[in-house]
């Protein structure tokens, strides 16, 4: 996963990102019967909410190779809840609470 932030001004105070882009190369969810499109929509909605409300460190592009700290999830979890849990794990990683490399 890659994250890119853009915005702010050159030479001025620390830029405030206007855009955060998250690229997920592949997400494999073995054992779940949830609709992938609904999981993706819930993931995007929840991650957007978390970034708007809590932000993320603005120190440039980074990648999160592994989601860590994701609790065991029941296979019958709804697409909405699965997307939310994944977004929370990604946000924690981007906030320095998960396994992140730069």
The tokens describing 67, both together, are 């989601």
Reduced to 3 states (helix: H, G, I; strand: E, B; else coil), residue 8 is coil
d(CA 36, CA 98): 24
What average pLDDT does this structure show over 17-28? Answer: 70
Structure pTM?
A: 0.68
What average pLDDT does this structure show over 28-33? Answer: 82
What average pLDDT does this structure show over 27-52? Answer: 88
Q: Is the pLDDT of residue 66 over 90?
A: no
């Amino acid at each position: 996963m890659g994250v890119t932030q853009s915005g702010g001004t050159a030479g001025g105070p620390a830029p405030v990102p206007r855009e955060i882009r998250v690229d997920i190369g592949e997400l494999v969810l073995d054992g779940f019967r949830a609709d992938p499109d609904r999981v993706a929509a819930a993931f995007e909605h929840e991650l957007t909410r978390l970034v708007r409300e809590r932000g993320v460190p603005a120190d440039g592009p980074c990648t999160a190779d592994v989601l860590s700290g994701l609790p065991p999830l029941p296979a019958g979890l709804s697409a909405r809840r699965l997307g939310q849990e994944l977004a929370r794990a990604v946000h924690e990683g981007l906030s320095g609470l998960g396994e992140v490399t730069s």
